[in-house]
Amino acid sequence: MDIYAGELPALIALAGGLNWTVGFLTTVAILGILVLGLNIQWGYTGTINFGVVAFFMVGAYTSAVLTLDPPREFESYVGGLELPVPVGWLGAMLAGAVLALAVGLPTLRLRDDFLAIATIGIATILRSIANTQEGLVNRARGLNGIPRPLQQQASDAGLDYDWVLLAIAALVLLAVYLVVHHATASPWGRVLRAIRENEETARSVGKPTANYRVQSFVLGGVVMALAGAIWAHRTGTVAPDAFDNFFTFLVWTMLIVGGSGNNRGAVLGALAVGLVWFGIPLVQEDLPDALGTRVFQVRQMLIGLMIVLFLLLRPQGLLPEEKTVSRHLRAGGRRQTRWPLFTRRRPGG
């Protein structure tokens, strides 16, 4: 079993070939961004968000309607403003912030479980609005022809567009990682962890904890919406049914498997769980018949199994969180940071 698990990535990559691998890595990069967003909320602050897919969806739709052409015959949606793609992404991030405030402000001051319950509902509500509200986002038919960034330039330069997409997704992932790392490995992140550990005591040492919870929820929501926006422009099409609640569960599994509270763990989790999720169908023929014929049920079960096994046997995930929150205290932390983004770190530090 162990050997088989070890061979799995190679087997899957081989079965899928280069094109599949490039597409897979693009997907992993986008999911990695999403998991980084959840990590701010759950990993650092202990805020439960069961509506991850809602933020992803809002980001995808917002960027789509901002950048699409105006509706043609038989189509009806708001926007169609033909704005440049980066503007769409900024709009998506803003929409993520608005959604986070709308959900978070009324609930984050109350008990933790209130927010958890509220977030379960929002994805379902948003999906049904998208499906039924005429003239909003073209209902169940979805939005098509969402502009794909740099496509013209890529073909002019004779580049394979899939590789360009991978490069874009990877660069955004890197940028988000650096921003999130800078934000969290800091005194700000220390307040978040204190809230996660013991909110009442954090209040009694002067921290306005509700305020910090909202900040962390909004930052996480912004990051998740950005992931959704990139997704929309990568696939070129969005429709309500793509955003089901299992997706939220998948993202949670990625965080828990990778290591909640660790930003590198979040990205690793996206890769590890993504490999199972997207790879299993490729090796269908190598599986015993009983499993191979039910490969889509099997992979859902495997995700469930992974989350249970990790929670029981390795709750800290593949990469546990760092003991010390503030990067200023870690090995080499005495050195001055010259520019906020590029803090030099020692390997393993």
Partner 1 sequence: MSTLLEVSGLVKRFGGHHAVDGATFAVAEGSITGLIGPNGAGKTTCFNCIAGSLSPDDGRISFAGEEITGLPPNAIFRRGLTRTFQIPQEFAAMSVLENLMLVPLGQAGENLWESWLRPRRVAVQEREIAERARATLALVELDGQAQQYAGNLSGGQRKLLELARALMSEPRLILVDEPSAGVNPTLTLRLLELIRSLCESRDITFLVIAHDMDLIARLCESLVVMTGGRVLTEGDPRSVLEDRRVQEAYLGSQYR
Other beta carbons within 10 angstroms of residue 141's beta carbon come to 14
Report the C-alpha gap between 225 and 61 in whole angstroms: 9
Contact 220, 37 (CB under 8 A): yes
Report the C-alpha gap between 244 and 124 in whole angstroms: 8
Q: Which residues, in sequence order, are CB contacts of 294 under 8 Å at separation 6+?
A: none
Residue with tokens 């769980």: 273
For partner 1, give the closer residue by CB, 206 or 288.
Answer: 206
For partner 1, give the closer residue by CB, 188 or 247.
Answer: 188
For residue 5, give the nearest of 272, 262, 241 by alpha carbon: 272
For partner 1, give the closer residue by CB, 126 or 219.
Answer: 219
For partner 1, give the closer residue by CB, 109 or 264.
Answer: 109
The SS3 assignment for 1 reads coil
Contact 45, 196 (CB under 8 A): yes
Chain positions 140 to 199 lying near partner 1, rule: CB under 8 A, are 182-183, 186-188, 190-191, 193-194, 196-198
Contact 173, 267 (CB under 8 A): yes
Two tokens, residue 145: 């022809």
Query: From the CB of 92, what's the least distance to partner 1, in Å?
Result: 20
Query: From the CB of 320, what's the least distance to partner 1, in Å?
Result: 10
For partner 1, give the closer residue by CB, 61 or 217.
Answer: 217
Fill in the per-residue mask, 189 to 208: x = in contact with partner 1 (CB under 8 A), - = not in contact: -xx-xx-xxx-xxxxxxxxx
For partner 1, give the closer residue by CB, 121 or 315.
Answer: 315
Stretch that binds partner 1, among 99-107, 144-152, 160-168, 317-325 (CB under 8 A): 317-325
The answer to the question of residue 330 lying near partner 1 (CB under 8 A) is no
The answer to the question of residue 349 lying near partner 1 (CB under 8 A) is no
Positions that interact with partner 1 (CB under 8 A): 182-183, 186-188, 190-191, 193-194, 196-198, 200-209, 215, 219, 321, 323-326, 328-329, 333-334, 336-337, 339-340
